[in-house]
Amino acid sequence: MAAYMKTSVLSLQAGQIGTIQETPAGYQFFKLLSDRGDVRLQDSYETVKEQIRQRLYEDALSSQFQKWVKELRDQAYIKKIL
């Protein structure tokens, strides 16, 4: 969300209409339909960089683990004796 949008929306109460803003795309205004307290602004890249790296690492590790388990199962020889 652009900075001018954040400024306009953060100052509104539920049901209010903000002032008209001139933007490169023309004129815009915002109406806040409801106020959800659990919504937070997007964190900066520097803040979440380590979380992103950790998530990518865990996804790659899980993928490699599943591949390894499949290879072990394919190589296993199991004889059923009844």
Over the stretch 47-60, which tens digit does the pLDDT of each residue have? 889 999 999 999 99
Tens digits of residue pLDDT in 23-42: 888 888 888 888 776 556 67
Query: Using an 8 Å Cβ cutoff, are 44 and 65 in contact?
Result: no
This prediction has a pTM of 0.43
Amino acid identity, position 59: D
| Phi and psi, residue 62, nearest 5° | -60, -40
Q: What is the pLDDT of residue 21?
A: 84
- Which structure tokens are listed for 56? 């990518």
- Higher confidence at residue 65 or residue 42? 65
Give the integer Cα–Cα distance in Å for 39 and 33: 14
Q: In the chain, where are the structural domains located?
A: 1-34, 43-77
Closest CA to 39 of 17, 6, 2: 6
